[in-house]
Each structure stands twice: as structure tokens, then as C-alpha cells.
Amino acid sequence: MAVYKEKGFAERRQSANDAKKALLTKFKQAADDPVLLAKQAERKAIAEAREQRNAERERLRREKAEQEARERAEREAAAEAEAKAAAEAKENSERDRISRLLADEAERKAKRDARYAARKARQK
């Protein structure tokens, strides 16, 4: 019958260190691998292209926002000018109405004065 012998602490630690060294050597060898270097270069190129696209997208977004701000300012200026012109036209029409009323009042007063003068002239 075979007896299972349990490994001691020193053996377990040594096997763990050996496994770590094997992983490290494998990683170091993989760092010099031309396939891995090509993949890294490809990833870097993809990341740079993505950054360029994002920068272009952000530039277009800023330009669009600036254009919208200019258009909004132009619309506001046009609306303000239109409102000012409407207020000015209303004020002018009100002045004309007042001047017509004053002229009509003066004309009525002149006619009344003429009638009064004619009546006084007849009475003498």
C-alpha cells in the first residue's frame, strides 16, 4: 500500500517560488515576442485613432455650439429690433392720433368762436 507523504512547508514554499520564477521568465520572453509587439502596436494605433475621432467629435460639438450661440444672438437682436420698431410705430401712431385730436379740438373751438363772434355781431 502506498502511503501519501505530505509535503513540508519548505517544499511548498520552494515549489511556489519555482512557479513564480517560471511565470516571470515566461512573461519576459513574451515581452520580446514579435507577435505580442505587433498586437501592442496595433492597440496603440487603435487608441490613437480613437483619441483623434474623439477630439474631432469634440471640435465639431464646440463649433456647433458656437454656431447655435451666434444664431441665437442674431435672432434675439432681430427680435429686439422688431420690438423696438413696433414700439416706435405705436408711439408714432399715438402721437399722430393726439395731434389729430388737438387739431380737431382747435378747429371746433375756432368754429365755436366764429359762431359766438357772429352772434355778438348780430346783436349790435
* Per-residue pLDDT tens over the stretch 33-79: 888 888 989 999 999 999 999 999 999 999 999 999 999 999 999 99
Residue 84's contacts (CB-CB under 8 Å, 6 or more residues apart) are: none
Q: How far apart are the first and last CA of the chain?
A: 166
DSSP 3-state of 8: coil
Question: Percent of the chain beyond pLDDT 70?
Answer: 97
Cα separation, 17 vs 21, in Å, equals 6
